[in-house]
Chain A
Amino acid sequence: MSDLFDILLSVSFWAAAIRIASPLIFATMGELICERAGVLNLGIEGIMVIGAFAGWMAVYLGAPLWLGVTAAMAAGMLFGLLHATLTVPFGLSQHVVGLGVTMLATSTSYFAYRLALPEVTSPPKITPFAPMDLPVLSDIPFFGPVLFQQTALTWAALICAGLVGFVLFRTPLGLAVRAAGENPAAVEAQGLSVTGLRMGAVIVGSGLMAVGGSFLTLSAFSSFFFEMVNGRGWICIALVVFGAWRPGKAVLGALLFAAFDALQIRLQQTPLGAHLPYQAFLMAPYLLSILALILMSRRAEVPAALMVPYRKGER
């Protein structure tokens, strides 16, 4: 038990939780934008893979890190465009299209990686984002190392969440996006384009998902390997529900999940780890997330037109 308290009071645990949460925050914000506009984007898992790959590849080929992030975003937006075109103007099933996009983006990434680096056995490394060492701030005891020795991309994730919240709830654009997810007929009747709003939301959202993927290669791991996204996209879909489609709550959810993840790694190294199979620890964050999801999302208000394609003139 004292092991648990030691972990919870350690700087490294909290720093790790925020680091692990960063890619989830990006991708969750992306999914949240899509769903607020009425489109479920199941392409998220694959778009994170293509983001991880495109960002890494750009930097591997010599681009600066921020250009790598931009490349990841552009790749994500491209697959977002594909998803949006099929689901919005064509009104195809969002489930089928989303899973298709995930498979296409994932295998495209792996295929391109193999084509580009046919002979490689151990994944080559790039120089990732370094932790920022802000003077004064990072010297604050406890909070300094936890908050101010993170990479720039982590900060970008937190700023991104604030921005998404601001745009959705404080601007005419956000109002229009939310209305498109609630009742597209209302948007149409007020002279706005449902197609434009929904496509825009899916494309921008997909861009953010890809940036979340690129965090893995450009900030966390410094190389690209298969299966590295490992279900994080699906977790983000659950986090959107957990957060009741609100950016602030979704960030809390991401932090909670990440904290569980950081905790289980550390618990494996305690005496408890000698008694329990390590798979039980790996399972823990997911089990706890499911539990939290059940408790938190009971009263959530789903966007009323989520997954309902809109066709002009139909009632």
Chain B
Amino acid sequence: MTDPRDVVMRLDRITKRFGALTANDAISLTLRRGEVVALLGENGAGKTTLMNILFGHYVADDGRVEVFGQPLSPGNPRAALAAGVGMVHQHFTLADNLTVLDNIRLGTESLLSRGASRAAARARVDRLSRDFGLAVHPDARVGSLTVGERQRVEILKALYRDARILILDEPTAVLTPQEAEALFATLRRAIAQGLSILFISHKLHEVMAIADRCVVLRHGKVVGEVTTAETSGAALAAMMVGGEIALPEARPATAGKVLMRLDGVTTPDKGAAPGLKRVTLDLRAGEIVGLAGVSGNGQAALADLISGLILPGSGSVTMDGPLARWSPREAIRQGIARIPEDRHKTGTIADFTLTENAVLEGYWQPGFSKAGLMDWRAAEGFAQGIIAAYDVRCPGPGARIRLLSGGNMQKLILGRVLEPGPKIILANQPVRGLDVGAIAYVQSRLIAARDGGAAVLLISEDLDEIMGLADVIHVMSEGRLSPGFPRGSKTAAELGLWMAGQGFDHAA
């Protein structure tokens, strides 16, 4: 292992600055043949910047990258590919309307040539699929594939180009536990064939499962490098955040009366996204209901329904009696707090100020408007209150919200929906993309709201989050809802099977 010829990639004091921010500060790292190195770090620690430098999307201000002993020319994805570096991006770089084979072949042949025969290319893809356990049909349109299959296409793309080094950016973020296992099996085959892997993640248990070594980043610096066998998840976590952070521990709930009941609700499919299929669900006061599932399995329809954006096609929704009418404004009137899945697209308006964003949902209420005129003083007071009570770090209520970090933006949204004292809280991916500190804060606020008697529906793709927070867990698959499982009654693997669609057939 100490033979220097084994080193396939060496990063030497890579530094990258964006204005005043140093995203990567003299990062050095070595990757050897047949080795899996995990790059661990919180959001904002500089992992993505480093990867973009490796792959040529950014040019480093300082430092150099060597691949197989040769310096890698900066700012050029083509050079990285030619050197044998293949990258599996977190946001897949696939063209949906092209076939799997076309996506794989793209850019592999000289543009001015006639191109190799499709049959030869297909045979090669088939062989790679078999060798690495990456089952996917070469003639399928990428748009029709599941997320797991798309990831296989991304890996095939790299293997097709004879990549010797694979860089995977948060590869399991979108997978079920079973799909993640299949991915790990593929990666193990790749290692056995002498490939090297740089694995970027913030999920500790995965890192412990697959990596030989871990390099931990914090604030753009390497703060530790350890052999996985000689460390523990807790030690790595402490290294990542620079100290112990106690995640909130929920006390058992005391569920009260049903605040909202869905009975046999069906909604139409929306393009590729399934609608709800005869969903029956109770939301009770003082209880957190966790909704697990791979994204795109009907969670959006359920969130839209509760938010007032869509109406049930059949079945009934009751809140203190059947709903007479249902609209987003009616949902707000009925005391439903909505924390949307995408805080940038649907949660806020980027170029509005904090004050304007704070009253987006309630500007029409008597407190904020009089006789059709906005009461901006009251609105600003409301925003000031949220900034103080929810610790929103910002230049002031008049600042545009796009200047805020994700965590601070989410705190403002939390304040906006929680301040009026809601009965039901719809939290759709409330901590996605936040750092550990902000996650702890958001989760503790949700628990506090539950303890205050609110019903919480927590939708998340992160099974750990669901299992840690929810009092009752449902799983969604293709628009169907599993029965409710009380906290602790199912293991992650068992829930994973439900996520993959098993169990529904035997279920009542």
| A→B interface (CB under 8 Å) | 170-173, 175-176, 178-179, 182-183, 185-192, 301, 303-304, 312-313, 315
From A179, A190, A304, A312, contact of B57 by CB (8 A): A312
Q: Which of B76, B79, B96 contacts A182 (CB 8 A)?
A: B96
Name A191's contact: one of B58, B78, B95 (CB within 8 Å). B78
What sequence of 0s and 1s flags, for each residue 65-105 of chain B, a beta carbon within 8 Å of any chain A beta carbon? 00000000000111111100001010101111110001101
Take A172-B113, A189-B87 as given contacts and tell me if A179 and B108 are in contact as well, using a CB distance cutoff of 8 Å: no
Report the minimal beta-carbon distance from B3 to chain A, rounded to whole angstroms. 31
Residues on A with beta carbons closer than 8 Å to the beta carbon of B98: 175, 178-179, 182
Contacting residues, chain A, for B109 (C-beta < 8 A): 172
Q: Which residue of B lies closest to A178 (CB)?
A: B98
Whole-angstrom CA separation of A304 from B98 in the bound complex = 11
Question: Could you name 30 residue pairs across A and B whose Cβ atoms are closer than 8 Å?
Answer: A172-B107, A172-B110, A173-B112, A175-B105, A176-B106, A176-B111, A179-B95, A179-B98, A179-B103, A179-B106, A182-B96, A182-B98, A183-B96, A185-B89, A185-B93, A186-B94, A186-B106, A188-B57, A188-B93, A189-B89, A190-B93, A190-B106, A190-B108, A190-B157, A191-B82, A191-B107, A192-B78, A303-B97, A304-B95, A304-B96
Pick the residue among B77, B97, B110 that contacts A189 (CB under 8 A). B77
User: Is there an interface contact between A173 and B111, defined as CB atoms closer than 8 Å?
Assistant: yes
With A and B bound together, what is the CA distance between A190 and B104 in angstroms? 9
Most buried by A among B78, B95, B102, B110: B95
Q: How far is the CB of B192 from chain A (nearest CB, A)?
A: 26
Residue of A nearest to B94 (CB): A186
Q: Is the CB of B97 within 8 A of A182?
A: yes
Query: B345: CB under 8 A from chain A?
Result: no
Minimal Cβ-Cβ distance residue in B for A190: B107
List 19 other contacts, CB 8 Å, given A189-B77, A303-B97. A170-B115, A172-B109, A172-B110, A173-B112, A175-B105, A179-B103, A182-B97, A182-B98, A183-B93, A185-B91, A185-B93, A186-B94, A186-B95, A189-B89, A190-B106, A191-B79, A192-B106, A304-B96, A313-B52
Complex CA gap A119/B120 in Å reads: 66
* A39 CB to nearest chain B CB (Å): 16
B114 CB-CB contact with A under 8 Å: yes
- 9 smallest CB-CB distances across A and B, nearest first, come from A190-B107, A191-B78, A182-B95, A189-B93, A172-B109, A186-B93, A183-B95, A172-B115, A173-B111
A187 touches B97 (CB 8 A): no
The distance from the CB of B231 to the nearest CB of chain A, in whole angstroms, is: 32
**Known: A179-B95, A191-B81. Is A313-B110 also a contact (CB below 8 A)?**
no
Bound complex: CA of A187 vs CA of B106, how far in Å? 7
Find residues 269-310 in chain B having any chain A CB closer than 8 Å to their own CB: none
Residue numbers in A under 8 Å from B93 (CB-CB) = 183, 185-186, 188-190
Residue in chain A with minimal CB distance to B114: A171
Nearest B residue to A169 via CB reads: B102
Identity of the chain A residue whose Cβ is nearest the Cβ of B112 in the assembled complex: A173
- Bound CA–CA A170/B118 (angstroms): 10
Determine the chain A residues whose CB is within 8 A of the CB of B112 once the complex forms: 173
Q: Which of B57, B76, B80, B97 contacts A313 (CB 8 A)?
A: B57
In the assembled complex, the Cα of A185 lies from the Cα of B91 at a distance in Å of 10
B102 to chain A: closest residue by CB:
A175
CB distance from B146 to the nearest CB of A (A): 18
B107's contact among A176, A178, A303, by CB below 8 Å, is which? A176
Contacts of A176 in B (CB 8 A): 106-107, 111
User: Which residue from chain A places its CB closest to the CB of B79 in the assembled complex?
Assistant: A191
Find the residue from B87, B96, B97, B113 having the highest chain A CB count within 10 A: B97
Listed in ascending order, the chain B residues whose CB lies under 8 Å from chain A are 52, 55, 57-58, 76-82, 87, 89, 91, 93-98, 102-103, 105-115, 157
- Tell me the bound Cα distance from A313 to B76 in angstroms: 12
> In the complex, which residue of chain A has the Cβ closest to the Cβ of B89?
A189
Complex: chain B residue closest to A180, CB-CB: B95
Q: Closest residue of chain B to A305, judged by CB?
A: B95
Of chain B, the residue at the smallest CB distance from A200 is B111
Given A172-B113, A190-B157: A183 touches B105 (CB 8 Å cut-off): no
Q: Which of A170, A171, A178, A191 makes the CB contact (< 8 A) with B77? A: A191
Residues of A within 8 A of B103 (CB): 179, 186
Residue on B nearest A186 in the bound complex, by CB:
B93
Q: How far is the CA of A186 from the CA of B94 in the complex (A)?
A: 5
- Whole-angstrom CA separation of A172 from B112 in the bound complex: 7
Which residues on the B side are within 8 Å of A186 (C-beta)? 93-95, 103, 106
A304–B106 touching, CB < 8 Å = no
Cα distance A188–B56 when bound, in Å? 10
Nearest chain-B residue to A245 (Cβ)?
B97
Distance in Å from the Cβ of A86 to the closest Cβ of chain B? 24
Nearest-CB residue, chain A, relative to B157: A190
A185 to B157, CA, bound (A): 14
Rounded to whole Å, the gap between the CB of B95 and the closest CB of chain A is 3
Nearest CB to that of A182 among chain B residues?
Answer: B95
B91 CB, nearest partner CB in chain A, Å: 6
Contacts of A312 in B (CB 8 A): 57
What separation, in Å, do the CA atoms of A186 and B89 have in the docked complex? Answer: 10
Q: Are the C-beta atoms of B115 and A171 separated by less than 8 Å?
A: yes
Chain A residue numbers with a CB within 8 Å of B105 are: 172, 175
Q: B163: shortest Cβ distance to chain A, in Å?
A: 12
Residues of A within 8 A of B106 (CB): 175-176, 179, 186-187, 190, 192
Instruction: Tell me if A178 and B95 are in contact (CB < 8 A).
Output: yes
Give A300 Cβ to nearest chain B Cβ, in Å.
11
Q: Give the CA-CA distance A312 to B110 in the complex, in Å.
A: 22
Question: Considering only CB atoms, which chain A residue lies closest to B87 in the complex?
Answer: A189
Q: Which residues of B contact A179 (CB under 8 A)?
A: 95, 98, 102-103, 106
Which residues does chain A contribute within 8 Å of B113, judged by CB atoms? 171-172
Closest to B86 in A: A189
Are B111 and A315 in contact, with the CB atoms below 8 A? no
Closest-by-CB residue of A relative to B92 is A186
Most chain-A CB neighbours within 10 Å: which of B55, B77, B111?
B111
Contact B107 A192 (CB under 8 A): yes
Shortest distance between the CB of A189 and any CB in chain B (Å): 4
Which of B77, B79, B80, B81 has its CB near the most chain A CB atoms (within 10 A)? B77
Minimum CB–CB distance from A176 to chain B (whole Å) comes to 6
Cα of A188 to Cα of B111 in the assembled complex, Å: 14
Bound-state CA distance A312–B76 (Å) is 11
Q: Bound state CA distance, A171 and B108, in angstroms?
A: 12
Who on chain A is nearest to B58 by CB? A313
Report how far A189 CA is from B107 CA in the complex, Å. 9
Closest to A192 in B: B107
Bound form: Cα–Cα A285–B57 in Å: 49
Min CB–CB distance A276 → chain B (angstroms): 44
| Cα A190 to Cα B157 with chains together (Å) | 9
Most buried by B among A183, A186, A301, A303: A186
Indicate if the CB atoms of A187 and B52 lie closer than 8 Å.
Answer: no
With a cutoff of 8 Å between Cβ atoms, the chain B residues found around residue A303 in the complex are 97
Chain B residues in 8 Å Cβ range of A173: 111-112
A170-B103 Cα distance, complex, nearest whole Å: 14
Q: Which residue of A lies closest to B88 (CB)?
A: A189
Bound complex: CA of A10 vs CA of B77, how far in Å? 59
- Nearest CB on A from B117, distance (A): 11
List of B residues within 8 angstroms of A189 by Cβ: 55, 77, 87, 89, 93
Task: Give Cα distance in the complex from A191 to B111, angstroms.
Answer: 12
Q: How far is the CA of A191 from the CA of B58 in the complex (A)?
A: 14
Q: How far is the CA of A176 from the CA of B115 in the complex (A)?
A: 12
CA distance A301 to B55 in the complex (A): 31
